[in-house]
Structure 1
Amino acid sequence: MRIAITGTPGVGKTTVSKILGEKLNYKVIDITEVVKKFKLYKEYDKDMDSYVIDFDKLKDFLKDKDNVILDGHVSHLLDPDYTIVLRCNPKIIEERLKKRGYSEKKILENVQAEILDVCLCESKEKVYEINTTGKDPEEIANEIVKAIKEGKERKGVVNWLDKYIDYLI
């Protein structure tokens, strides 16, 4: 099984992925790290301070990988068997990304992506959405294990739009 842990930067993907990997005895693949290390990108976008992923190369790299957790905000685009979409209050995301030294432009883009459910909207089959706000990563990982074992799907449990519409104007 290939499990995608996706969501806007700052929602807790990497922390939850590591815990989940230990619980399931799955290898965790950090998509950003793999893209950089194996040059699975088309170019570097200086304006956005990120790599433009070559999805054909990345999918080819992952084709033989099984019993893995794909950790990254594009992991839902990599044909996973199960997609977990982590969500978090946009104000918390904003603070976390500031601490990481993200540019104001990149912070705004990511906060807006969270408000507009971008990762959730792009996710296709076998999707389970979790609001991570105020939750312990261990608790989140346990919820994911239970959801996978029971084959649960859940979308539409988080709505930031009404509360944070000002970020979009």
Structure 2
Amino acid sequence: MAQNSRKKPNILVTGTPGVGKTTTSSLLTDATQLRHINIGELVKQKNLHDGWDDQFDCHVNLNFVCDELEDIMEGGNIVDYHGCDVFLERWFDRVVVLQTSNPVLYDRLSNRLSW
């Protein structure tokens, strides 16, 4: 990992939906006083996409996210998102990949669905 001049780190918390990214990021934020950036919420709030893909149930083209984040990634951020390929590698000092067992994940995602 290359050295940087940041006074505070940027941390990416990633993993599949339902593993606890937002919960973990919130706990880290409380413990460190770093800023929590939930990318899913940011995309919705600022309309940082080109539309919705019904087949995959997700937003299309998140390239606008990098433009939005460029000025605030100087340090002190905990970024919460299910992937890492959207971001510039140089932004992060640490990447945390969360996992959980399939039964736990199934229960969590099932509880999120409204039938």
Asked whether the two chains share a fold, i.e. TM above 0.5, the reply is: yes
Give the unaligned 5+ runs of structure 2.
1-8
**TM-score, normalised by the number of residues in structure 1:** 0.56
The partner residue of 1:72 within 81, 87, 104 is 81
Which segments of structure 1 move beyond 3 Å, counting only runs of 4 or more?
A: none
SS in 1 for 2:31: helix
Q: Assess, with a 3 A threshold, how the Cα gap between structure 1 residues 26 and 43 changes in structure 2: closer, same or farther.
A: same
Question: 1:76–1:83: 8 Å Cα contact kept in structure 2?
Answer: no
Q: Between the two structures, name the one with larger relative contact order (CA 8 Å, sep ≥ 6).
A: 2
Counterpart code for 1:46: D
Q: Assess, with a 3 A threshold, how the Cα gap between structure 1 residues 26 and 75 changes in structure 2: closer, same or farther.
A: farther
What is the aligned-residue identity percentage?
Answer: 33
Question: 1:5–1:17: 8 Å Cα contact kept in structure 2?
Answer: yes
1:59 positional shift: 0.6
Whose helix proportion is higher, 1 or 2? 1
1:30 aligns with 2:42: no
Aligned twin of 1:88: 100
1:16 aligns with 2:13: no
1:7 aligns with 2:19: no
1:102 positional shift: 7.3
**Separation of aligned partners in 2, 1:76 and 1:70:** 13
**TM-score, normalised by the number of residues in structure 2:** 0.80
Aligned twin of 1:61: 68
Pairs within 5 Å for 1:144-163: none
